[in-house]
């Protein structure tokens, strides 16, 4: 299973790094020869996250023929921010690339306000979804059927609530793809108890 995490200037660190670790451990314990990679829309080799962490990237979004793309959020609540999910939403190029990948059959999983980047091009229109509490009204206005849950799974389009919900989304993906035994092993390794607040539609 090849997973790409689409990072960009101003993304929230935990939105990306939390799922990265869960999914990488899941691949390892499942003896899956796939990979989890941080990637950027334009192939740049590094970006700076919302709290100042400089994060290296391993290539361009879509470049590894991904089986899943994870989209972190961050920076939505500040309309004047020069970087973050709102800036990417306004720019439009990352949402357009995500929509193109989805149209090609690549499942997407959004974390926090990363949901707004998918919503920009109508991917959540009429579909159950969740995002950070600060953006729930925006997600509803964008056409989503907003649910109260940590994780919402509609099959090829998943979403998670704010920040730490990304861990629960990643554990759900590990459970879904590799089974409960692998997910439980990862949870023991990471000393984390995944939330059962998952809506599967």
Q: How confident is the model over 75-127, as pLDDT tens digits?
A: 999 888 899 999 999 999 999 999 999 999 999 999 999 999 999 999 999 99
Rounded Cα distance, 89 and 74, in Å: 11
What does the radius of gyration of the chain's CA atoms come to, in whole angstroms? Answer: 15
Burial class of 79 by CB neighbour count within 10 A (0 to 12, 13 to 18, 19+):
exposed
90-96: long-range contacts (C-beta < 8 A, 24 or more apart)?
A: 92/120, 93/41, 94/6, 94/8, 94/41, 94/61, 95/120, 95/121, 96/121
Reduced to 3 states (helix: H, G, I; strand: E, B; else coil), residue 47 is strand
Closest CA to 16 of 47, 62, 60, 42: 47
Rounded Cα distance, 197 and 60, in Å: 33
Q: Treating both helix axes as pointing N-terminal to C-terminal, what angle do 180-190 and 13-29 enclose, rounded to 10 degrees?
A: 120
**pLDDT value of residue 79:** 85
**pLDDT value of residue 61:** 98
**pLDDT value of residue 135:** 98
Identify the structural domains of the chain with CATH numbers, from first to last: 2-200 (3.40.50.880)
> DSSP class of residue 119?
H
List the chain residues with pLDDT less than 50. none
The 151-153 sheet, strands edge to edge: 35-39, 2-6, 68-71, 108-111, 157-160, 151-153, 198-200
Q: Rounded to two decimals, what is the model's pTM?
A: 0.98
Say which residue the tokens 């400089």 belong to.
54
């Amino acid at each position: 299973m090849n997973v790409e995490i689409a990072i960009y200037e101003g993304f929230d660190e935990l939105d990306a790094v939390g799922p990265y670790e869960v999914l990488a451990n899941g691949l390892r314990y499942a003896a899956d020869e796939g990979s989890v990679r941080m990637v950027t829309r334009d192939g740049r080799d590094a970006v700076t996250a919302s709290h100042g962490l400089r994060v290296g990237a391993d290539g361009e979004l879509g470049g590894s023929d991904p089986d899943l793309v994870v989209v972190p959020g961050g920076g939505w609540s500040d309309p004047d921010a020069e970087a973050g999910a709102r800036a990417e939403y306004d720019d439009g190029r990352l949402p357009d690339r995500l929509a193109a990948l989805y149209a090609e059959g690549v499942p997407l999983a959004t974390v926090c306000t990363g949901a707004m980047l998918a919503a920009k091009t109508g991917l959540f229109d009429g579909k159950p979804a969740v995002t950070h509490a600060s953006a729930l009204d925006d997600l509803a206005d964008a056409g989503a059927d907003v649910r109260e849950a940590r994780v919402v799974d509609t099959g090829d389009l998943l979403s998670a609530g704010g920040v730490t919900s990304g861990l629960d989304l990643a554990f759900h993906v590990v459970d879904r793809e590799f089974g409960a035994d692998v997910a439980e092993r990862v949870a023991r390794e990471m000393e984390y108890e995944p939330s059962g607040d998952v809506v599967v539609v």
